[in-house]
Structures are given as structure tokens and as C-alpha cells.
Amino acid sequence: MRIPPRNTQALAVTLLAGATGLTLAVLVFVIVFILGKGLPVISLGFLFDNPQEMGKAGGIFPTLVGTLILPLVAILIALPAGVGTAVYLSEYTGDNLATRIIRFGTDCLAGIPSIIFGLFGFIFFVTTLKMGWCILSGALTLAIMVLPTIIRTAEEAIRAVPAGYREVSCSLGATRWETVLKVVLPNALPGIVTGIMLSIGRCIGETAAVIFTAGASLRLPHSVFDSTRTMAVHFYILAREGISNENAYGTAAVLILSVLLVNSLSYWMMNRFIARRTK
Amino acid sequence: MTDAVKISNRNFSVFYGAIQALRGITLDVLAHQILGIIGPAGSGKTALLRSMNRLNDLNPNCRVEGQILLDGEDIYQPEFDAVRLRKRVGMVFALPVPLPLSLFDNIVYGPRLSGIRARARLNELVERSLQAAFLWDEVKDRLQTSALRLSGGQQQRLCLARVLAMEPEVILLDEPCSGLDPISTSRIEEALMALKSKYTIVLVTNNTKQAARVADTTAFLLQGELVEVGPTDRIFTAPKDQRTNDYVSGRFG
């Protein structure tokens, strides 16, 4: 008994649309639920005041600063290393055993749970290097954690740059490095930015690796050698210790809105860059 | 001195992995002439062309034997700088590949790499190269728009202008008209005829009639071997080799 193609087509469309609808519904539900509970809590005072009684009252200002600084430092460390690796792998080496092992290694690294990175960061940076709980320890740990993401997305983006561009650049008297700077990286930028945004998202949302390495201090950090608490950690502690469900949801709402802000800002900057290059 | 040898291929062979693309080619390119290279697909025309500016270096599987002399100097000797070579020997590819930049930035790509920064000098280079490629009148009002917006024929003339802006000594063209309409093709041919007084030109073409129209000397390649080379008139009217005769009369290929 054979189902007519017309019916399988209709069935496929129904199933695919259903899957899309379900995904969208879950997403909208989560966001609406958290914003619904969190938005009423948010005020200028909530954003810019220091927390009191471990976060039961007062605002979340130090955690806002921590959430900005920690991913920023982590990306500043991971980006040059990650993009550098990607450029080296795709532009300067052929496909041989060594590069295949490196690729396999980064793929494995990407699948390791974050708490393992947290434990490593605690043992290596915090204890062995005696750096203590601080922003730098946390950022280095997060950098290692997001390195595979940055390397692989950057490499994919670099590979997608047409080979013809490289040939033209070289035939016009550019060295390999000049070709990388002037042709390969600018054209791979959208993919690289996608990798950065994924990484920022992971850093902002990370708790386990951050508690182990950057600590959970509620004081405003003055340098990268101070401990800090990110919003995600703050949310976790507020909810876990039952300190204040209300403020936990408020923090979560601010967290969601900041991720939204960071992503829109990066897209806007990227589009401006592309538009300026090719009017 | 129109009879000076600009490039001399001496018993030159190219291998891609285990496949031999060129078999002991010995061929001189005379200064201020257009050398046409004809032959069926897979005859090694492009391999030969890409050897003359060492673009084959980009392919890690490529290996060469023999010599290519530019003004008497072996370009494959280890201390010869391939990057400087490519500034002297420019190349236009089969498919026009404008970089995703403005027209202006495409043309000054080479000059900027050579360290030319002065705006007036760059402006002058852009105008002169576009004039020489017969494109200036069509684009002079939109030099800051993306090169990707040009038509195929305009893009290929832009690629020619981009090479001219480097002020090279030799221009290599790899089937530059294969994707173009007859009018665009005749514009490119016109440009080439005008350019040969200043440059040495090597034109690889699938179109034997094009070689007959513009080349001073024509070389016929078949399966990686140089079958015959001589003045274009003689190659097309009285070829010495039966295979050349079959090819130019359209019996195969």
C-alpha cells in the first residue's frame, strides 16, 4: 500500500510546521514566564543599587558589572587565540594527521561539561598559580571553555571564503598574511561574530565554572584580581538558598534582556561593517 | 627591441600529485607580443600559465621540474621571491573575481600592497587603468559602489584594470572571455591589442578564432605537450603538424 506523494507532502509540511511551532511556543513561554515575573521587580534602583542582606533586598549592581566584565575579559583572551588557531589550521597547514588530531581534540573539548572546566580552573589558576578567586581566574577558565566554539566557527567561516579571492589576492602580489588580513578575515567576519556571540552567551549563562574560579563576592570589583559575582551566579544563589524568589526572577529578566542587547548590538555592528565595505 | 625574450620556459614539467599536467615544455614568450596558447580542455594550458607567476605554489600537491626564466632569471630558484614575481607578472582569471570591495578599492588593491598611499597617485592609477581596460566611461561616476554590482563583462574588464594598476611587465590571461558575450569579448580583445605595446601578454584561450584574431604567436598544446609554436598566420594556414591542423580546422577539441 503506497501513500500518494501528494499526501506525504502534506504530512511532511504538517510535521515540519508543527515542530517549528512547538519550538517557538516553548521559547515564547519561557521568555514570557520569566519576564512576566521579573519585569515588575526591575527598577532603576534594582539595577544600580548595591544588594543588601545577601540580595534579599537592594539591587544587583555589582553582579551587573561582573556579568559585563567577566565575559568581556574571557572573550578578549579567547578571541585572538581562537581565531589565530583557526587561521593557522585553515590557511597555513594542509589536511594532515596533526591538524586532524587538533580538530578532533577541539571537538572533544567542546563537549566537556563546564563544571570540569571549573574544577580545572580552581585547581590550576586559583590554587596552583595562587591567583585566588578573581575575575582573571574566571575569565581564563571561561576562555578555555569557549575556545573550541570560537575555533570551529571561525574555521568554518574562513573555509567558506571563496578560494578565488585568495588566488586573486596572491596574484596581485599579496603575501599569505596580507591575504588573510585584507580578504579572508573581513569576509569570514559574520561567521566569526556568530561564534563570539555564542561564546558570550555561554559565558553570561555559566554558573558552575564561575563559582569555582571567580567566586561569588557581592562587592564591586576594582580590578581583574578581585572576586566577582555574575547575574547567573546571583540568580542561582538567590534561588538555591531561598533568599528571594522575587529578586531571582528580576535578575533572570535582566539577564535575558542583556543577552538580547549584546546580540542585537553585535549584529548591528557587523552589518555596519559589511555595509561600509561594500556600498 | 621587440624580439627580446621576456619569459623562457625550459624543459618545464608540472605534476599535480601523480598526474603529469605538463611534459617538458620549452617555449619562449617574446616581449611586446601577444602569445596565444590554444589546446583542448586538459591540455595543460592553465597549468603552464599558473606556472609563470608561480600561482601553482598555492597548491600543496603541485610539483614542478625544469626552469622558467623571466628576463634570464630562474623564477623557481629558492631565493626568488614569488610575491615580487607576481607584482611583475599579473594574471586575469577565467571567471571574473572582483573582491567584495568598491571598484576603487579593487583597483588599488595591488598598488596599496606596494606601499602607494597618496590619494592623488591612487586616483590617477585608477583612472589610467580603467581607461586602458575600456571601462572608465561606464563606471567613472560610481567608483565607490561595490564591484559585485557590475555585469560580467564589466567585471572582467575591472579585473584587467586591477592587473594594469600594478604596472606589471607581463599579463597572463586565462580564458578571459570564456563567460562573456561577443561585445564584451571584443572590448577585451581591443584592450589587449592596445596594451601589447607596453606589456608582454600571454593569452590562454579555448577559442581558436580569438587566438587567430589577436595573437602574434600561437602555441598549440595537447595532453601536456607542446605540439607546435609559430607565427599565428602560419599556425592557422600552414600548420606543420597534422594534430595542429586537425585542431585549428575544428576536427576535434
pLDDT digits (tens, 9 = 90+) for B177-194: 887 888 889 988 999 999
Query: DSSP secondary structure string, B7-41?
Result: EEEEEEEEEETTEEEEEEEEEEEETTSEEEEE--T
Selection from B223, B242, B202 nearest residue B27 by Cα:
B202
For residue B174, tell me if it sits in a domain: yes
Instruction: Answer yes or no: is pLDDT of B244 > 80.
Output: yes
d(CA B109, CA A219): 52
CATH code assigned at B155 = 3.40.50.300
Query: Quick one: average pLDDT of B198-210?
Result: 92
Mutate to test the interface with B, among A96, A171, A183, A278 (most CBs of B within 10 A): A171
Average pLDDT, chain B: 91
ipTM exceeds 0.95: no
Output the pLDDT for position B1.
Answer: 44
Counting residues of chain A whose pLDDT is more than 70, the rounded percentage is 99
Contact status of A181 with chain B (Cβ, < 8 Å): no
Selection from B147, B144, B215, B213 nearest residue B182 by Cα:
B213
Query: Quick one: average pLDDT of B42-62?
Result: 91
For residue B14, tell me if it sits in a domain: yes
Query: Quick one: average pLDDT of A42-56?
Result: 87
Selection from B63, B64, B16, B37 nearest residue B220 by Cα:
B37
For residue B221, tell me if it sits in a domain: yes
For residue B236, tell me if it sits in a domain: yes
For A172-223, how does the pLDDT look when each residue is reduced to its tens digit (9 = 90+)? 999 999 999 999 999 999 889 889 988 998 999 899 999 999 988 888 888 8
Domain hosting residue B53, numbered range? 5-248
Query: Quick one: average pLDDT of A73-85?
Result: 96
For A90-146, how does the pLDDT look when each residue is reduced to its tens digit (9 = 90+)? 998 877 888 889 889 998 988 899 999 999 999 999 999 999 999 999 999 999 999
Output the pLDDT for position A213.
Answer: 94
Output the pLDDT for position B24.
Answer: 92
Helix (H) / strand (E) containing A7: helix A5-38
Instruction: Answer yes or no: is pLDDT of A11 > 70.
Output: yes
For residue B120, tell me if it sits in a domain: yes
Instruction: Answer yes or no: is pLDDT of B27 > 60.
Output: yes
- Please list every residue in chain B whose beta carbon sits closer than 8 Å to the beta carbon of residue A167: 55, 58, 93, 97
The answer to whether A172 contacts B114, with C-beta atoms less than 8 Å apart, is no
**Residue B56 region by backbone torsions, left for phi larger than 0, else alpha for psi between -120 and 50, else beta:** alpha
Output the pLDDT for position B206.
Answer: 87
Contact status of A61 with chain B (Cβ, < 8 Å): no
Selection from A198, A214, A255 nearest residue A231 by Cα:
A255
For residue B218, tell me if it sits in a domain: yes
SS3 call for B170: strand
Contact status of B146 with chain A (Cβ, < 8 Å): yes
Instruction: Answer yes or no: is pLDDT of B2 > 60.
Output: no
For residue B253, tell me if it sits in a domain: no
Q: In total, how many domains does chain B have?
A: 1
Selection from B152, B53, B164, B58 nearest residue B106 by Cα:
B164
Instruction: Answer yes or no: is pLDDT of A169 > 90.
Output: yes
For residue B215, tell me if it sits in a domain: yes
CB B185 within 8 A of CB B104: no
pTM reported for the whole predicted model: 0.83
